[in-house]
């Protein structure tokens, strides 16, 4: 239900923006480096792609609202998985893909520099654990169907058509099914798993 409402709101915003004089929109291409807090693997070692579309509209003076629809890859990577002398070689890493809908408020700090912050709702496309033999079989998806997070970032206007964006996002709710089950256990100290993603993005303005 939440997914349907979000998509309807987003489609309505895009339709309205196309008719608005101050509409800007285009395509998004980028890469992610990510980790999963709580999986005992540290470091932004997981590489992934980020592609999508965006629409933005000025709402007040130097403030604008931007909404996006993105395909994004997240997770964690164990660089020591093949190092049998390392104590971490048996630890599983994580691969996830999401359909993500960020909603961002942007402030034009200077003519070329823009600060941004907002929230993101991501809906799971696929998710699994990896071990030494590759993808691990699961009877059920080990991850919940959504990921809610916060985003902060900044953009540099390289040209009239191109903006270079760097942002970091972090989950505010656990992403694993077992994390929610563990929370219901009395006096359980587990904190759960959370996506942390550092993204490097190119926004190409088509308007």
Model pLDDT for residues 82-108, shown as the tens digit of each residue: 655 556 666 788 999 999 999 999 999
Backbone φ, ψ for residue 190 (5° rounding): -65, 140
Tell me which residue has tokens 């909404």. Answer: 67
What does the domain layout of the chain look like in residue ranges?
2-205
Please count the CA atoms within 13 angstroms of the CA of 171 that sit on its side-chain side: 24
Give the closest residue to 52 by CA, choosing from 33, 67, 64.
67
Give the pLDDT band of residue 81 (cuts 50, 70, 90): low
pLDDT tens string 49-69? 999 999 999 988 899 999 999
2-205: CATH topology is Porin (2.40.160)
Structural element, H or E, at residue 29: strand 23-37
Share of residues in the chain with pLDDT > 90 (%): 57
């Amino acid at each position: 239900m939440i997914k349907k409402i979000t998509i309807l709101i987003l489609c309505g915003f895009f339709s309205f923006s196309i008719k608005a004089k101050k509409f800007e929109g285009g395509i998004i291409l980028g890469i992610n480096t990510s980790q999963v807090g709580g999986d005992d693997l540290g470091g932004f070692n997981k590489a992934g792609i980020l592609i999508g579309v965006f629409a933005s509209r000025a709402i007040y003076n130097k403030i604008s609202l931007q909404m996006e629809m993105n395909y994004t890859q997240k997770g964690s990577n164990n660089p020591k998985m093949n190092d049998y002398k390392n104590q971490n070689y048996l630890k599983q890493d994580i691969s996830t893909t999401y359909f993500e809908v960020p909603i961002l408020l942007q402030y034009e700090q200077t003519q070329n520099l823009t600060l941004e912050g907002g929230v993101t709702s991501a809906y799971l496309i696929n998710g699994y654990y990896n071990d030494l033999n590759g993808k691990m079989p699961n009877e059920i998806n080990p991850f919940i169907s959504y990921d809610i997070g916060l985003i902060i970032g900044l953009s540099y206007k390289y040209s009239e058509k191109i903006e270079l964006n760097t942002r970091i996002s972090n989950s505010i709710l656990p992403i694993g099914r077992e994390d929610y089950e563990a929370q219901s256990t009395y006096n359980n100290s587990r904190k759960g798993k959370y996506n942390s993603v550092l993204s490097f993005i190119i926004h190409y303005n088509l308007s």
